[in-house]
Structure 1
Amino acid sequence: MSLAPPFTAETARAKVKKGQDLWNTQNPEVVAKAYTPDCIWRNRTNFFSGTQLIVEFLTKKWEREKSYKLRKELFAFSDDKIAVQFWYEYQDSHDGMKWKRCYGLEDWTFAEDGRMRKRQMSGNDVAIEEEGRWFREGMDVNQVEISEAHW
């Protein structure tokens, strides 16, 4: 099954899960290969473009965000665009290793070859207690029940 545009509901869902699995590797060089060399990024308040800056951004991100676990779900799609809702949890190495969860939305635009050529992310972090974590070690993030209150 091709994961290049134009997308169907099946291929859009598969593309989202492939992206989820790729980001959960926390390997900036491997993740960056999923984007065009001139990919445009907006990540919260950061605006940049290009493979080297993507690698640098992700390296810094995962130096801060320890024990990172991510879940992405398809929100909407069209021929060459996908909107994603996501949640991830991490321990913040810049804040005493406190647990946090980020809630957010991304919009993705793809090149004909299936690599992403534009990525926009909006997210908000909230502090969580150990007892409130969803994505514990050894759990399949896709099997965690996330209630409508968090969608």
Structure 2
Amino acid sequence: MSPRPPLPPFTAETAVQKARMAEDAWNSRDPERVALAYTEGSVWRNRAEFVTGRAEIVAFLGRKWRRENEYRLIKEVWACEGNRIAVRFAYEWHDDSGQWFRSYGNENWEFDDDGLMRRRFASINDLPIAEEERKFHWPLGVRPLNHPGLSDLGL
């Protein structure tokens, strides 16, 4: 694979770029597209689930987005240094019964020299919300550039 800029070491500006690229890819809800940002042997901890490699990432994301309907995500950089970025995020979705949730979490990312993520550790909590409490109302897909971020929304 060719490099996926921006490359480490990250600055505050390039970390924000990398986080937005990840957000946009995840909002596509396309497991194959998302998996290309990770090394072949990428290691994840997502909640209490452990995933290794692109094939497992694709399978994991397929299951995730079959369960999490109308998924919309916002990521925000918390800190960065060298080849590591820490982000906080929130996403909204509903289950098959129509119950809406806002899922909050933190991720720690580590990248290889080509800008591919080789390690991802995610801690996530789900909060049931009423539909009228939703804050993410853009059409499915990439968040519009003028849509507020997490801090702007008070999250």
**Taking structure 1 as the reference length, what is the TM-score of the superposition?**
0.92
Alpha-carbon RMSD across the aligned residues, in angstroms, is 1.6
Equivalent residue, structure 2, for 1:41: 44
**Hey, what does 2:144 align to over in structure 1?**
140
Q: Are 1:84 and 2:87 counterparts?
A: yes
Q: How does 1:49-128 map to 2 (within 5 A)?
A: 49-93=52-96, 96-128=97-129
- The farther-off stretch of 46-55 and 130-139 is 130-139
Q: Which amino acid aligns with 1:16?
A: A
Query: Where does 1:15-26 land on structure 2 (aligned, <5 Å)?
Result: 15-26=18-29
Tell me how far 1:143 sits from its aligned partner: 1.7
1:25-77 Cα shifts (integer Å, max 9, x gaps): 00000100000000000000001201110000000000000100000000000
Tell me the distance in 2 between the aligned counterparts of 1:12 and 1:85.
13
For 2:75 and 2:36, the matched residues in 1 are separated by 19
Provide the C-alpha distance between the structure 1 equivalents of 2:43 and 2:138, rounded to a whole number of angstroms: 33
Q: Tell me the percent identity.
A: 45
Counterpart of 2:66, as a letter, is E
**Which amino acid counterpart does residue 122 of structure 2 have in structure 1?**
M
Q: Structure 2: give runs of 5+ residues left out of the alignment.
A: none
Greater relative contact order (Cα < 8 A, sep 6+): 2
SS at 1:24 equivalent: helix
User: Shift of residue 81 of structure 1?
Assistant: 0.1
Shift of 1:146: 1.8
Q: Name the TM-score, length of structure 2 as normaliser.
A: 0.90
CA deviation vs aligned residue, 1:120-151 (integer Å, no higher than 9, x gap): 0001000000110000144738425321xx3x
Number of residue pairs aligned between Structure 1 and Structure 2? 146
Structure 1 runs (4+) greater than 2 angstroms displaced: 137-142
